[in-house]
Amino acid sequence: MKNNLPIAFLLIFLSCNFYAQNKEIVPYKPSKSEILERYRQASKLDEAVKNKVFKTRVNAHWQKDGNTFWYCNILKDSVREYILADASKGVKSKLFEELKLKKALSEITGKTLPQKSLVIDSLNYDAKANSIALKYDKSYFEVSLSDYSIKKITALAKDLKKYSGFNNQWARWESFRTDTISPNKKWLAFIKDNNVFVKPVSGGEAVQFTKDGTKEKPYGSLAWSPDSKYIVGYHITPIVDLPVHYVLTSVANTTRGQLRSNPYKQPGDPFTTYEMFLFHVENQKVSKVNTPVIDFFDAPELHWRNGDAGYFTYEKVDRGHQRFRIFEVNTQTAETRSIVDEKAKTFIYESRLFTHYLKKSNEVVMTSEKDGWRHLYLVDGLNGKENQITKGEWVVRSVDSIDENKREIWFSASGMNAGEDPYYIHNYRISFDGKKLIGLTQAKGNHNVAFSPNKQYYLDSYSEPNIPTIIELHRTLDGKKIMDIEKSDASDYLATGMSLPEPFHAKGRDGITDIWGIICRPANFDPNKKYPVIESIYAGPQDSFVPKNFMDRYTTEMQSLAQLGFIVVQIDGMGTANRSKAFHDVCWKNLKDAGFEDRILWIKALAKKYQYVDDSRVGLYGTSAGGQNALGGLLFHPEFYKAGVAACGCHDNRVDKQWWNEQWMGYPVDKHYEEQSNVTNASKLSGDLLLIVGEADENVPPESTYRVADALIKSGKTFEFLPVPGMGHSDGGPYGRLKKRDFFVKHLLGVDPPDRNSNELNQ
């Protein structure tokens, strides 16, 4: 008998373990009273978590010495503390003694200051004089910090020093005038009766350069060469965009609806065209430049060759976004040649196309995705020779600054750090030849860098969705950390019971690529019950959208919605930006795809990892392009998505704005536009749908949603429809968000939402 005891205990252990692993997890289906209580608790929690996280950012006020800055922390109960940091010494301290400053202010104003923390409207600090000048209670004062002597002043001094700053992009399209004075101030070029004239500024008769300009086809958009010898202008065929209309139904002080109209270019609509001409001032010669007509976007910015005004370059993006060129024009011959000629089988993302012209060296720094990733290139503007500056399976996100003298580029990128979310942004410096790459942000996380005006120091703020923000001061020369500045305090927030979002990744449709997202759970949820899933969706190809920062404002609604008894998620599927070109190309002429295959696999992987995730009850909601996606999920993947809320969706890409839709759906407007339209496919609806639209939407015409409603009605489909009087492009505002919550409670939890007409929540 003794010998059998170990075996018996082993059998008991194995049977218990088997039971634990195979215990049935029941779907979460609350009673009406329970859901009412959830609404009440969710409302209380929404209020309880406000202003519960501190020290999330530092707004540094750098001083003239270039080494010191001050900032203000707002703490619990609105208590403020003013901090002085000395970068050269690596120390920080209180900017002033608050009790002594209060006493000084009280004496000079003759007023008793309140006991609460001192709130200063604006403040200047003078490190050299060890004094502060401040505005308090509509008056201005100067205070010596050595003895807190105080005097009244008339105003705060303005800092007139202009800092170069770090620019993210340079414009490519000019705003030209119809009259302009030459750089040498001797000539005035102007348009009169639709034609080009030039006359001496000192007086004299004007010379008419053109005679064929008409009202229907005028000349215009004039620009001088730096040596004042040439004028570049255009023979223009103007196009007036047709209007879209909407009616305001509830305007005060009238019993009539008010018609509103605004010009709106839709896919396929024509553009104003520009034929480029050269006007030679000395011999009054007119030359038509041998270059294609500019029939997409406006007249381009001109870049004149340094040291030789006989040449200039300009950029041209072909309609359809599949070709980008930099042309060089010879002003003597009016002939052109291509310095850059880039073509793509899918699309060139024009809005992210960065170019910067180096004036001293006649070179161009530009971005390209020609090797499959967005990288920096250096192009010789004289011979077109091209050298790649950055390389690798990672993405240049932005260019902060270019130092032509040191031949260095300061930029941000994502995906370079192994074992980290590939969307996390880090900052770098690199030389023009692709060498001397220096990482300025080493710690894991999503980084935001703010440089001092003299660029000798920078504040590095970094965090993750579930890890509080850390703010450090670094030296720019080598990236060395000087000192810790602040760390976010979320203890009061977590004390409410609210959980933080959890990052999660799973393989996409190719079985190789990681798809990233976040999940939000209800506070104090029961892991022995299965909760429905709601996806907050926005699959617009112009960016990636899953929050990467701690306490990102975009997670607020997700976390609030989760409190009603849902697992709320957000995912970046294929077809969105900031990964490889191939990842992004999925969207090409294919907005219907919306990364759904990746999203569905991600949610299924989540349900496999966490048994409390119920992937048999999945809903989704979105606004604008997200509204298009939310309805698209129901139409094209009804086997997975059961309920959706679509707000102000661009449901038919032929109805929405030209610039956004042609970038992804291409030009000309072909059959694929119709085939992928939610309007065309409305008869496929099998799930539960709530449509929301603001009647005053000037972004996506309201008829986009109304056309879907019309198609659903004609197909005999059942759906809910919420038009919001007077509202523009939005998710429906507070009332729309309330209706969205009620909709998911009813259709995913199977419980009637609160009857607000009977004030049920307050009973």
Per-residue pLDDT of 227-261, as tens digits, reads 999 999 999 999 999 999 999 999 999 999 999 99
**For residue 165, is pLDDT > 90?**
no
- Structure confidence at residue 161 as a pLDDT band (50, 70, 90): very low
Mean pLDDT, to the nearest integer, of 456-481? Answer: 96
3 vs 100, residue with greater confidence: 100
User: Which pLDDT does position 169 carry in this prediction?
Assistant: 43
Element (DSSP H or E) covering residue 32: helix 32-48
**For residue 226, is pLDDT > 50?**
yes
Picking from 457, 352, 440, the residue whose alpha carbon sits closest to that of residue 397 is 352
User: Which pLDDT does position 113 carry in this prediction?
Assistant: 87
Mean pLDDT, to the nearest integer, of 418-426? Answer: 96
**Amino acid type, 445:** G
Q: Which domains, from first to last, does the chain contain?
A: 61-153 (no CATH), 171-338 (2.140.10.30), 493-753 (3.40.50.1820)
Picking from 183, 207, 223, 179, the residue whose alpha carbon sits closest to that of residue 282 is 207
Give SS3 for 619: strand
* Residue 689 φ then ψ, to 5°: -135, 135
In this structure, the number of other CB atoms found within 10 A of the CB of residue 504 comes to 19
CA distances from 356 to 303, 329, 421 (A): 10, 18, 30
Q: Which of 176-190, 620-634, 644-658, 664-678 has the lowest mean pLDDT?
A: 176-190
Per-residue DSSP letter, 556: H
Element (DSSP H or E) covering residue 723: strand 720-724
User: Which pLDDT does position 170 carry in this prediction?
Assistant: 42
**For residue 52, is pLDDT > 90?**
yes
Confidence (pTM): 0.93
d(Cα 428, Cα 430) in Å, to the nearest integer? Answer: 7
CA distances from 458 to 69, 81, 452, 479 (A): 11, 22, 6, 9
| Chain segment 547-606, per-residue pLDDT in tens | 999 998 889 999 999 999 999 999 999 999 999 999 999 999 999 999 999 999 999 999
Mean pLDDT, to the nearest integer, of 196-215? Answer: 96
Q: Where are the alpha helices (DSSP H) in 648-732?
A: 658-665, 671-675, 703-714
- For the chain, the average pLDDT equals 93
**For residue 5, is pLDDT > 50?**
no
**For residue 12, is pLDDT > 70?**
no
DSSP result, 325-350: EEEEEETTT--EEEEEEEE-SS---G
Picking from 328, 409, 415, the residue whose alpha carbon sits closest to that of residue 376 is 409
Q: Which of 48-52, 80-84, 114-118 has the lowest mean pLDDT?
A: 114-118
> Packing angle between helix 625-636 and helix 596-609, nearest 10 degrees?
70
With tokens 């009647």, the residue in question is 695
d(Cα 411, Cα 399) in Å, to the nearest integer? Answer: 4
SS (H, E, C) 238-303: CCCCCEEEEEECCCCCCCCCEEEEEECCCCCCCCCEEEEEEEECCCCCEEECCCCCECCCCCECCE
d(Cα 515, Cα 271) in Å, to the nearest integer? Answer: 39
User: Which pLDDT does position 137 carry in this prediction?
Assistant: 85
**For residue 387, is pLDDT > 50?**
yes
User: Which pLDDT does position 7 carry in this prediction?
Assistant: 52
**For residue 642, is pLDDT > 60?**
yes
Mean pLDDT, to the nearest integer, of 299-326? Answer: 95
For residues 420 and 413, the answer to whether their CB atoms sit within 8 Å is no
Give SS3 for 524: coil
For residues 702 and 256, the answer to whether their CB atoms sit within 8 Å is no
